[in-house]
Structure 1
């Protein structure tokens, strides 16, 4: 019977094995290092606002310039991954942003730091959609969504590392420099990715590299204790080599799902990065000490972990789309509650600083729980929207469009706060989550279905 299966069908039927685990952890560590780098800039912004006496506009530029690089990187990385391979691009992007982050620790002024952050963004933007595509193409069909959510959960690990470094290292003399120096770790890790992780079987077949694809599949079958077919060379149909372009995303077949995916990415990026990049600085400017604001962010970050775990459980029970929509709805509630929390606390216990901290933290944890669960579901559904030949291109394009929101949000934050206050700012974030929630209803549902090949 196995001789009748294609290589991708052979992968889909496998149980989860140590080879899947190696791929997940190998990709997940890179994912966590990404999160650590992005998270660190939120703490460094708060420290440099004090050390370099930066204005709100300068801080906005520093916070958003990395996302300008990420927009270019996501677009370019997706195209390259469909041409030269997922693993190759994954390793290259880790090297680029790791080196640039390490060098940014030597910055002598704002201009140099901004320049380095742009290069860091190029690497980060290209890495994320490529890593999720690689993992999605190997995961067994019945738990594919859960595995990709598990990959995305490494983001919480990285952000937790950033919060820990922010709490213990950044407040020290030149602490922000040491924090950035730690961000050079991905440069070394890129070698592990390059030689330790397999290349996508679907990519190899699409490029006609069938002998390599067969070796990879046999390796995974061996790990599962399943005998490989005797005559494997003729099993898989020869997929045509297709060069995808941006124009293909807007053809009759994909137009609706492209619009829905791009709007979902835009809304969630605007709300998440607008809130979390500025969070320590907003808390500091609101009267918390620098260390206290870092402690608050650390606690909020911990709420991400159960959010991912819950999304990973529900995504195969409810499906991708219901899970994503539900967690985006919870994010709306969390954002609005966080904006109103100081006022609510003042109404309940006027002048009680402890009550204010507790109410605000509770609302922040709700936001963190649902928002990061939504991210996990979004990363699970994104690689499933397009077929193999344009999967990384489509994921990269959606990510790039989302990064436009990510670069705009940090610029908007100080103006909205100055003009209308924090409740209106987080009301805006709630509105953007709502946009993403509505758009997500129009995404395709691929729970327990094979990925499209053509």
Structure 2
């Protein structure tokens, strides 16, 4: 049976102390350090979309074979996201973050040496394992260390590094692939393996996770480091006098303490099932539309007769619109709230996808593509901000990871469907399907709580 722990009356919780801080250099270091790993992740995902177009010419692959090149990585991501979140709850956010960077960096470098389609698929699966685990873990780490009033904004700022990575991928696709070939492009993707050491030794561990594992002295040390950077005196008590991990939670989101012999609480337990249904649905539908469209975008542009270099250049221009999308989402998510911001950007994504599918001229195509980048990536930023904060600390990694893992199933399916649907319904029908998925995702936001301004539990 689960009971509710009473908040501490004498001492503020770790979550309250962290949540009440002003933004400082430690927060900047956290977002930048995590964001660089995030950008390298995005660069790897983006690179494969440009490599696909080159592989079609180099190895003479069919669209069906290319769809497997796109989807096999997402199969790995689905598994990686699910187990990465579970590992993050057991081994720590920072440790798993660094491990994932190492795995996918080494696998990406190895994929540059692929001697056959089978070898490339095997390496891309390993890449996906690392990539899938990294994203929910990094967003959870940033969420747990952020000031309450700007927690959503900081996670959106982290997610904005995805645009940086995708722009880097577009630049590599435009400048490197035509001149040096796809192998050199993938070789550049090995950089995350080196950066893993920076993450492991340069970023702090989540104090909320440390406290949940009984490592109170380490948790106190991290919190005091952030308090010092904000010019605030330590607000805690000696390590031996700290309340337990279950104590000190804000009344708005009490911590469930499972009594001995009780059934373990999970993301589908009473009180969490509604939000889990909503977040899983949104992750699935957004993954389906985003990866179905963007992974194939360079190839679809080539098919429209623009040529490889021109197509890569046009995709680069569309990709630049991702950055202002994140910026606007970062502002609105604390002003409007989580649900309203996420739903608005999803509806904008739906409208942009519909127009892109019907575009019959280059100016309309570029404008609609830029709008799709703007709204879709703004929605991604809001989604990553919402996901970790709807779960308690003991389930936060598993909750975020399982939602991302379920969503990756859609990212496997979507690229495989493109060569099946495109000859039958054309670009208009294909992007109408993506638009409908965005609309359904917007409707599913009604199932989520809006935790803007609420402290995370301790």
Structure-1 residue corresponding to 2:227: 221
> Given the alignment, which residue of 307, 310, 326 partners 1:308?
326
- CA shift, 1:4, in A, is 2.5
1:329 aligns with 2:336: no
TM-score for the superposition, normalised by structure 2: 0.93
Is the alpha carbon distance of 1:359 and 1:235 closer, same or farther for their aligned partners in structure 2, counting shifts above 3 Å? farther
For residues 274-295 of structure 1, give each alpha carbon's deviation from its aligned partner in whole angstroms, at most 9, with x where no partner exists: 0000000011111110001100
User: Structure 1: how far apart are the matches of 2:399 and 2:119?
Assistant: 33
Give the match's secondary structure for 1:169.
helix
- Separation of aligned partners in 2, 1:78 and 1:204: 16
Distance 1:16 1:109, change over 3 A: same
Matching of residue 51 in structure 1 with residue 58 in structure 2:
yes
Cα distance, 1:169–1:230 mapped onto 2, change above 3 Å: closer
Runs of 4+ in 1 over 4 A off after TM superposition: 240-247
Mean Cα displacement is larger for which, 243-252 or 361-370? 243-252
Three-state SS of the structure 2 residue aligned to 1:446 is: coil
Does structure 1 retain, via aligned residues, the 8 Å contact 2:325–2:375? Answer: yes
| Conserved 8 A contact 2:11-2:236 | no
Give SS of 1:253's match: coil
Q: Does structure 1 residue 187 correspond to structure 2 residue 193? A: yes
Query: 2:212 corresponds to which residue?
Result: 206
CA distance in 1, matches of 2:232, 2:202: 22
Matched residue, 1:365: 370
Cα pair 2:12 2:235 within 8 Å, conserved? no
Q: Secondary structure at the match of 2:403?
A: helix
2:117 maps to: 110
Aligned counterpart, 1:352: none
Contact 2:207–2:223, Cα closer than 8 Å, also in 1: yes
Task: Answer yes or no: is the 8 Å Cα contact 2:153–2:333 preserved in 1.
Answer: yes
Which ranges in structure 2 are unaligned for 5 or more consecutive residues?
A: 1-7, 247-256
In the other structure, the counterpart of 2:285 is 267
Residues 226-305 of structure 1: pairs in structure 2 closer than 5 A: 226-229=232-235, 231-233=237-239, 236-239=242-245, 248-305=266-323
What is the rounded CA distance, in whole Å, between the counterparts of 1:279 and 1:200 in structure 2?
38
Moved more, 122-131 or 440-449: 440-449
What SS does structure 2 have at the residue aligned with 1:248? coil
Partner of 1:196: 202
User: For structure 1, which runs of at least 5 residues remain unmatched after alignment?
Assistant: 343-355
CA distance in structure 2 between the partners assigned to 1:319 and 1:378 by the alignment: 12
Residue by residue over 1:362-382, the C-alpha shift from the partner in whole angstroms, topping out at 9 and shown as x without a partner, is 011111100000000000000
TM-score normalised over the length of structure 1: 0.94
- Give the match for residue 28 of structure 1: 35
Contact 2:17 2:235 in 1 (8 A): no
Q: Output the CA distance in 2 between the equivalents of 1:316 and 1:194.
A: 30
After superposition, the C-alpha distances for 1:127-179 in whole angstroms (9 at most, x for unaligned) are: 00000000000000000000000000000000000000000001124x21111
Q: Which residue of 1 aligns with 2:250?
A: none
Please provide the CA RMSD for this pair: 1.8
Number of residues of Structure 1 aligned to a counterpart in Structure 2? 439
Superimposed CA distance per residue, residues 405-444 of structure 1 (whole angstroms, 9 cap, x where no aligned partner): 0010000011110111000000000011112111112111
Tell me, in whole angstroms, the C-alpha distance in 2 between the residues paired with 1:137 and 1:230. Answer: 17
State the distance in 2 between where 1:406 and 1:70 align: 9
Q: Is residue 2:121 matched to residue 1:119? A: no
Secondary structure of 1:239's aligned partner: coil
Cα deviation, 1:325-351, whole Å, max 9, x if unaligned, reads 000000000000000012xxxxxxxxx
Deviates more, 1:370-379 or 1:430-439: 430-439
The Cα shift of 1:2 comes to 12
Cα–Cα, structure 1 residues 143 and 229, in superposed 2: closer, same or farther, change >3 Å?
Answer: closer
